[in-house]
C-alpha cells in the first residue's frame, strides 16, 4: 500500500496473507469459514506450490494470540484467468479445515448485486504489500482510502485505453494506491467487498494508471458453485 497508514489492529479480521515458506506473497480475504478469495495471478512464479494462509494477523512476524497459519486443501483459479491479461483474475482457496472464527478472524460479506459502484464512492484497500517505490515491505497491515473512478474515465486512451471490462472497476491511483503484494486483497466499500486487487499494469501510485479491481458480483455463480461442489 503506497501513501497509506498502519491499519488499526484486527479491525479487518477478514484479511489473509498468502504465504510461501513463511513469506508474504499476496493478500486475500475470508469469504466463508473454509474459503479465501484472492487473485489468480498470485500463483504465477510459485511453480505449482500451494500457499499457506495466515489469518488473524496484524503483524506478519510478531507472535499474536489469534494468529494462525492454515494449510490449503485446494487452490482453484477461475477457468478464464491467464497470464496474458487481467481477465477473471480470481483464485479460491479451500482451507484444510474451517477457520476458527473469533474477534480477529471473521468472514467479509461480498457484493452479489451486479451493479457498478458509483464514481467518487470512497472505498478502502488494505494489505501487507510494498509501502514505498523502493519496494519496502511492511511487517504490519496497512490501508488506504481511494475514490472509485468511472469505467469511461479509466478506459480513456491516456489511462487503460479500453481494456477495463464490465467485470472490472477502477480507483484513483494518484500517490495513494495498492502495490506489489496487495494483489488478491479486497476493495471494501461501505463494509462490503466489491472488488479484488489485480496487478494490471503493475504500476503503483501513478494517476495515469488507475488501480484495477476484479468486480466480485459478476462471479457470484462461480464462487457459489465451487464452494458447493467442494463442500464436505
Ligand X SMILES: NCc1cccc(Nc2n[nH]c3ncnc(Nc4cccc(O)c4)c23)c1
59-66, Cβ contacts within 8 angstroms, sequence gap of 24 or more: 59/139, 59/140, 60/17, 60/24, 60/128, 60/139, 60/140, 61/139, 62/139, 64/104, 65/104, 66/10, 66/102, 66/103, 66/104, 66/105
* Nearest distance from C-beta of residue 178 to ligand X, angstroms: 4
Q: Does 200 engage in binding with ligand X (CB under 6 A)?
A: yes
Under the binding rule (CB under 6 A), the answer on residue 211 touching ligand X is: yes
- Is residue 89 part of the annotated active site? The answer reads yes
Residue 41 annotated in active site: yes
**Which of 38, 88, 89, 177 is flagged as catalytic?**
89
Among 173, 192, 216, 223, binds ligand X (CB under 6 A): 173
Contact between 78 and 89 under an 8 Å Cβ cutoff? The reply is yes
Q: How many other C-beta atoms lie within 10 A of the C-beta of residue 51?
A: 25
CB of 179 to ligand X, least distance (A): 5
135 forms part of the interface with ligand X (CB under 6 A): yes
3-class secondary structure, 74: strand
Residue 183 known to be catalytic: yes
Catalytic residue among 41, 78, 104, 160: 41
143 lies in the binding site for ligand X (CB under 6 A): no
Instruction: Confirm if 73 and 20 have CB atoms less than 8 A apart.
Output: no
Minimum Å gap between C-beta 32 and ligand X is: 24
Of 25, 14, 61, 6, nearest in space to 181 by CA: 25
Site string for ligand X, 35-74 (x = CB under 6 A): ----------------------------------------
125/157 Cα distance (integer angstroms): 26
Cα(76)–Cα(223) distance, integer angstroms: 10
Nearer to ligand X, 7 or 99 (CB): 7
**Residues annotated as catalytic (active site), given as ranges:** 41, 89, 183
Residues that bind ligand X (CB under 6 A): 130, 133, 135, 173, 177-180, 182-183, 197, 199-200, 202, 204, 211
Amino acid at each position: 500500500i503506497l501513501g497509506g497508514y498502519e491499519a488499526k489492529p484486527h479491525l479487518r479480521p477478514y484479511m489473509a496473507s498468502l504465504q510461501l515458506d513463511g513469506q508474504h506473497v499476496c493478500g486475500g480475504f475470508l469469504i466463508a469459514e473454509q474459503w479465501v478469495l484472492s487473485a489468480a495471478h498470485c500463483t504465477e512464479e510459485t511453480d505449482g506450490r500451494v500457499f499457506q494462509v495466515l489469518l488473524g494477523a496484524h503483524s506478519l512476524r510478531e507472535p499474536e494470540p489469534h494468529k494462525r497459519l492454515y494449510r490449503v486443501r485446494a487452490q482453484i483459479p477461475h477457468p478464464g484467468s491467464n497470464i496474458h491479461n487481467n481477465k477473471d483474475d480470481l483464485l479460491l482457496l479451500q482451507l484444510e479445515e474451517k477457520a476458527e472464527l473469533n474477534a480477529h478472524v471473521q468472514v467479509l460479506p461480498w457484493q452479489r448485486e451486479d451493479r457498478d459502484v458509483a464514481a467518487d464512492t470512497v472505498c478502502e484497500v488494505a494489505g501487507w504489500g510494498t509501502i514505498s517505490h523502493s519496494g519496502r515491505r511492511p511487517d504490519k497491515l496497512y490501508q488506504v482510502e481511494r475514490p472509485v473512478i468511472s469505467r469511461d474515465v479509466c478506459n480513456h486512451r491516456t489511462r487503460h485505453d479500453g481494456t477495463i471490462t464490465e467485470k472490472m472497476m477502477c480507483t484513483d491511483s494518484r500517490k495513494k494506491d495498492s502495490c506489489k503484494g496487495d494483489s488478491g486483497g479486497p476493495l471494501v466499500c461501505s463494509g462490503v467487498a466489491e472488488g479484488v486487487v489485480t496487478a494490471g499494469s503493475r504500476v503503483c501510485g501513478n494517476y495515469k494508471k488507475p488501480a484495477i479491481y476484479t468486480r466480485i458480483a459478476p462471479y457470484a455463480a462461480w464462487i457459489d458453485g465451487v464452494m458447493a461442489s467442494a463442500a464436505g
